[in-house]
């Protein structure tokens, strides 16, 4: 996968992309990062990328020319099919694991990270394929949001995680929150690991994990249950969990 990022603060990405899973993914050849300062595409000697809004009002607006030229240049240089051009924006669709899985199937992603008051509307209408928001709040710029999306997508690429089952069992991938995890020691300050996990009975362990996943989702994110088609047998467990919580 090729990941291009347009930002006027490209140095922000060095620490994130240069460590942990994201860096290992690049070393394995699963992904190639390219951080572009779109000021370099400005058609004026001061490399101005923003201007006052028509009609007046507070703040500055990102001009279309530098961003259009940057995206068009990156698309021209790309050797893969048409990329997804993603605008990080609080007005975009709220980001989900489903969207991460969708984007992980692409060959080329281009992220546009804005600042100031917003984007010229022509960027939104005629250049981008996706508008994404990572939550109902406003950040100083789109860089942090882009990092979140890149992290969640790259970890899904084949061969990036040590175990292919890791992301399949993640919270949200199944529609439910993940079950609790424990490791050694079995008894820490009198706090003990559930006996079933020490039993060696994998059927019972799997059943416990499924029930606890269901319990945690019911307790913390009941809204997820409304949007999830539960496998056969889960309905009975959910009824028991609801009765216990009354």
Could you tell me whether strands 84-94 and 130-133 are parallel, antiparallel, or unpaired per DSSP bridges? parallel
4 is in an annotated binding site: no
The answer to whether the CB of 94 falls within 8 A of the CB of 135 is: yes
Per the annotation, the verdict on 223 as an active-site residue is no
Angle at alpha carbon of residue 195, lines to 192 and 200, rounded to 5°: 130
Angstrom CA distances, 90 to 44, 119, 142, 205, 242, stand at 29, 12, 9, 42, 36
Tokens 């994110």 found at: 221
| 55 is an annotated ligand-binding site residue | no
Q: Is 170 considered catalytic here? A: yes
On whether 238 is known to bind a ligand per the annotation, the reply is no
Q: Which of 186, 187, 237, 183 is nearest to 214 (CA)?
A: 237
Known binding residue 35? Answer is no
Given the residues 73, 101, 117, 207, the one annotated as active site: 117
d(CA 48, CA 39): 7
Q: State yes or no: 134 annotated in a binding site.
A: yes
Q: Is 194 a catalytic site residue?
A: no
Which residue among 73, 90, 131, 207 is the active-site one?
Answer: 90
Q: Which of 66, 106, 155, 215 is catalytic?
A: 155
136 is in an annotated binding site: yes
Active-site position among 73, 131, 170, 178: 170
Is 168 within any annotated ligand binding site? no
Q: Has 155 been annotated as catalytic?
A: yes
d(CA 164, CA 186): 27
Binding positions for S-adenosyl-L-methionine are: 114, 134-139
Catalytic residues: 90, 117, 155, 170
Binding positions are: 114, 134-139
């Amino acid at each position: 996968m090729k990941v291009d990022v347009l930002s006027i603060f490209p140095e922000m990405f060095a620490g994130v992309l240069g460590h942990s899973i994201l860096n290992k993914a690049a070393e394995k050849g699963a992904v190639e990062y390219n951080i572009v300062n779109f000021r370099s595409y400005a058609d004026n000697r001061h490399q101005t990328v923003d201007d006052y809004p028509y009609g007046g009002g507070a703040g500055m607006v990102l001009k279309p020319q530098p961003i259009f030229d940057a995206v068009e240049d990156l698309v021209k240089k790309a050797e893969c099919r048409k990329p997804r051009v993603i605008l990080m924006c609080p007005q975009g669709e709220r980001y989900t694991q489903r969207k991460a899985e969708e984007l992980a199937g692409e060959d080329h992603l281009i992220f546009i990270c804005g600042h100031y008051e917003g984007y010229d509307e022509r960027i939104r209408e005629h250049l981008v394929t996706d508008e994404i928001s990572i939550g109902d709040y406003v950040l100083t710029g789109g860089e942090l949001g882009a990092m979140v999306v890149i992290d969640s997508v790259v970890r899904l690429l084949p061969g990036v995680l040590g175990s292919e089952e890791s992301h399949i069992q993640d919270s949200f991938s199944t529609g439910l929150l993940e079950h609790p995890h424990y490791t050694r020691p079995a008894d820490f300050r009198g706090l003990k690991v559930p006996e079933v996990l020490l039993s060696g009975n994998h059927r019972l362990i799997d059943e416990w994990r499924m029930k606890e996943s269901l319990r945690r989702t019911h307790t913390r994110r009941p809204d997820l249950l409304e949007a999830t088609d539960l496998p056969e047998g889960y309905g009975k467990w959910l009824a028991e969990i609801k009765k216990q919580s009354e």
